[in-house]
Amino acid sequence: MAHISLSPAVAAFNFSPIEKSFDRITKEGVVPQIDFLLGSQYNIPIGGETSISSIGSITNDAVSISGGKLEIDAESTDGSQVEKIVSFTSFMYFYPGVRIVGQSELEDWDLGPSPPVQIIRYEFEDLSTADKLRVDLQAGDGFAIFSVKETVDGVETTLVTKNVTPDHQNIKWEISYLESGLTKIFYKEVTGERVRIFEGTVNAKLGEAKVSARHVSTEQATKTVKSDFIWIYYPNLFVGSSVALTDRLNGRVRIFDTNDTDVESDWTEVYATDHPFVGERVVQNGLIRIRFKPTPKMEIYGWNVNDTAWELTGSVIPKSTLGDVATSLKDIIIEKFNDIHVKLIVKYGIATHIVNVRRGQPVARIVTDSKEFRINTAKQRFVLSTDDQVNDIPNFNQSLSDNSNRENPLNHSPQINPYIF
């Protein structure tokens, strides 16, 4: 089954399918994927997360992360309008109930009479219709101006404008799209009060949209606008799609009993949680395979699309909080088991691991009740998400992954400095 969503064109009952973003190649075949932009707090490197461009006679322009905020510098060489643009590599999707929450910050809020242009803008542009929704915070004369505008068939219309409290150069804002049939727009005062300033119809035909943060300026001095975060909250949806019957189970989660042999053709596929295992347990989803060894350890494999074979990338060694290495595998409890999701509780006596594997996903989630565990790996970054400031281990994220096969763990290149555990 394709990983696909639906989005509204205008009204809550006018839906159209969204095209796939890319394909993941699994052991069973291709699994179409959709990339969703969920949000960013800008506390990670932006390389790979965004693409950067500019418009106009611009100088001293730069994009950086400082203090956890996105900072966009720009200066006009001749007083004409320029833009420095940071576009996200993932798209977002408009359908009823979607909430967009963001923060915008100016360097100056009061530029006096006939002020030059200084705007921090979030722009949402539909990939098909080119209609847009724009969220602007602009420096003014004695106050900053918050506005939301839409562009329909090339014509821009202002939905709402609010002169915000003086000395208010940064605001938090929210758009609740087609909530009960109407779109609502809010902003927060310095007091923290959430104020609704718009409730009505958005006519822009928005479905699959690209998102960008922009510094718009006519100032002939280098200015910096900032954003602390943007988050996209999607409602829970059940979505189906029509695909070939032979492809419908690609990337599904499966469990095997090895029957004490390494010959896979002699393994038994498990269909019930009360299966009496003879050999080792194996769980896989077409991209990742985890084999539970009695030594004990969890061997991690990735599907090598070139050799069409499973390749061992490393292993997870259970340890206690005191640093003792586990000596035996006590039990594996299958808590949840279906084609979409398998959840296992793995007991080692001195530590317990909770393992989650989902359909067609290039990552597996392992949670431990111990403060320590060990990873032995030939790939120095494989399906790893951790945060250890002492050893400076970066979080696993899209910006640090090899994009050649869309996050297949076998394609993750080693860091310059290996991880230290």
CB 83 within 8 A of CB 54: yes
**Hunting for tokens 């042999």 — which residue is that?**
261
Instruction: Work out the pLDDT band at 182, boundaries 50, 70, 90.
Output: very high
In this predicted structure, what is the pLDDT of residue 165?
75
Instruction: Work out the pLDDT band at 287, boundaries 50, 70, 90.
Output: confident
Lowest mean pLDDT, pick from 88-92, 286-290, 417-421: 417-421
For residue 73, the Cα-to-chain-centroid distance in whole angstroms is 25
> What residues have CB less than 8 Å from 244, skipping those under 6 apart?
none
**Hunting for tokens 């190649």 — which residue is that?**
25
Q: Coil, helix or strand for 265?
A: helix
Per the document, the length of the chain is: 421
Average pLDDT, stretch 83-102? 88
Average pLDDT, stretch 224-248? 75
Domains detected in the chain: 6-233 (2.60.120.200), 251-411 (no CATH)
Q: pLDDT tens digits, residue range 154-172?
A: 999 999 999 987 767 889 9
Cα gap 317→141, rounded to integer Å: 62
Whether 143 shows a pLDDT value over 50: the answer reads yes
Q: pLDDT tens digits, residue range 306-354?
A: 888 898 888 888 888 888 888 999 999 999 999 889 999 999 989 999 9
CA distance to 59, 64, 336, per residue, from 69 (Å): 22, 8, 39
Instruction: Work out the pLDDT band at 395, boundaries 50, 70, 90.
Output: very low
Whether 63 shows a pLDDT value over 90: the answer reads yes
Sign of CA dihedral 43, 48, 51, 52: positive
Average pLDDT, stretch 76-91? 92
What is the identity of the amino acid at 47? G
